[in-house]
Chains A and B, each alone.
Chain A
Amino acid sequence: MTTKPLRLRELAKGDERISHGHRMCSGCGAPIVVKQVLMATDYPIVASNATGCLEVSTCIQEYTAWKIPWIHSAFENAAATISGVEAMYRSLVKQGKLEDRNVKFVAFGGDGGTYDIGFQSLSGAMERGHDMMYICYDNGAYMNTGIQRSSATPFGANTTTCPAGDVIPGKLQQRKDMTKIMAAHGIPYVAQASPSSWMDLMKKVQKAFEIKGPKFLNVISPCNRGWRSRTDDAIALSKLAVETCYWPLYEIENGVTRVTIKPKEKKPLVDFLKPQGRFKHMFSPENAGMLTQAQEYVDAQWNQLLKEAAAGEADKAE
């Protein structure tokens, strides 16, 4: 199959493969991510979905927003479920009971279902080398159950289980770098994307579908309820996350790192933190130093990434 051209007007004529009438909150980032992923390709897709906002609100008894075969699985086993489906498909094709239609297998999970609860099944599926793609929409907390901290929650964020107040100033730890952890599994393709750069996201999805083996895609997905921001700024905030290098857009293909979109001018992290109510306490005088600490961490991560990308380029040149 040739790769689908990514022109908005052509794409708009096609089917989104996810329907309106789902019950995600107004202004949620996750359906935008799902739409972009499903629109990127014409391959038949089978998806599994870990418990989370996306799962509970797209499939409420008798109604489903999905126009693709879709399986609800528990919080911890979206990757295990889809790896089983993939293995069964492969087996049936081999036995001649099913015609091979080049079906692609995708698992969707939120950051709770990916970074924490679903981590062991995801790690296992990646190690077994199933031909599947795992897509994490990262909104940085357990938003579905009421904004509890997860290991994807950024430093300083106010959540209901690390509330900012007299005792602690929000989350005390830095977030876990899941994309790098997945890259350490030695799988052929790992990438980080943002719905604000739709072209970049869809190219990564297209590229990943052409690669055989396990793939992992981490996508930022703003949540105006949990981030305490406005309902209309999902795209604006994900763009700021990229421009401040909080969420750099890069891919690691067969161990070679490449930054796909480098911001023209690296903005200070406060531009990303300021519009979000969950970081409000960081701007008060008694928490001075938190902003610097957050900025230093982002800078260190970004410089490390640039170093890895430079090493990748040097490898190619040789």
Chain B
Amino acid sequence: MSKKYWEKLPQGSVVLEAGSSAKFKTGGWRSMRPKWIEENCIQCMFCWMYCPDMSVKVTAEGKRAEFDFEYCKGCGICALECPGKKGNKAIVMEQEGK
């Protein structure tokens, strides 16, 4: 006899896999899209520290990489906090789908 859906759930609704929310992609929420301009980036990592969605990828050497658009919700905190180089922001927000 096949088990019903609720019977397959672990007892007490315990979630056994840590960080399993990564399977749930929140990138579709985004209406504004951050654009990373690498030549203006001073690698201050503020965008990484202030990202509420852990959507700034970091290389093995600890350098900033591209955004993780599967999860980025497009809030724009990174663009606002980006100090940029000589007044030129390294992150700008653009309308999604343009």
- Listed in ascending order, the chain A residues whose CB lies under 8 Å from chain B are 8-13, 16, 18-32, 35-36, 58-68, 195, 198, 224, 230-236
Interface SS majority for chain A:
loop
A-B contact pairs, 20 of them (CB 8 A): A8-B48, A9-B63, A10-B62, A11-B45, A19-B20, A22-B53, A24-B52, A26-B53, A27-B76, A28-B52, A29-B52, A32-B52, A61-B13, A63-B20, A63-B23, A65-B19, A198-B49, A232-B76, A234-B75, A235-B81
Chain B residues within an 8 Å CB radius of A235: 50, 77, 80-81
| Alpha-carbon distance between A25 and B73 when the two chains are bound, in angstroms | 8
The answer to whether B79 and A13 touch across the interface, beta carbons within 8 angstroms, is no
Set B17, B68, B79: member contacting A232, Cβ < 8 A: B79
| Alpha-carbon distance between A232 and B34 when the two chains are bound, in angstroms | 11
The answer to whether B68 and A12 touch across the interface, beta carbons within 8 angstroms, is no
Minimum CB distance partner of B76 in chain A: A232
State whether A26 and B21 are in contact (beta carbons under 8 Å apart), knowing that A8-B45, A16-B54, A231-B75 are contacts in the complex: no
- Listed in ascending order, the chain B residues whose CB lies under 8 Å from chain A are 9, 13, 15, 17-26, 29-30, 43-46, 48-55, 58, 60-64, 68, 71, 73-77, 79-81, 93
Chain A residues within an 8 Å CB radius of B81: 235-236
State whether A31 and B20 are in contact (beta carbons under 8 Å apart), knowing that A64-B15, A231-B76, A232-B77 are contacts in the complex: no
Chain A residues within an 8 Å CB radius of B55: 20
The answer to whether A32 and B73 touch across the interface, beta carbons within 8 angstroms, is no
Q: How many whole Å from A106's CB to the nearest CB in chain B?
A: 16
Q: How many whole Å from A266's CB to the nearest CB in chain B?
A: 22
State whether A27 and B77 are in contact (beta carbons under 8 Å apart), knowing that A13-B60, A62-B15 are contacts in the complex: yes
- Name the residue in A11, A27, A59, A68 with the highest tally of chain B Cβ atoms < 10 Å from its Cβ: A27
Q: How many whole Å from B29's CB to the nearest CB in chain A?
A: 6
| Alpha-carbon distance between A234 and B17 when the two chains are bound, in angstroms | 30
The answer to whether B80 and A232 touch across the interface, beta carbons within 8 angstroms, is yes
The answer to whether B58 and A13 touch across the interface, beta carbons within 8 angstroms, is yes
Minimum CB distance partner of A34 in chain B: B52
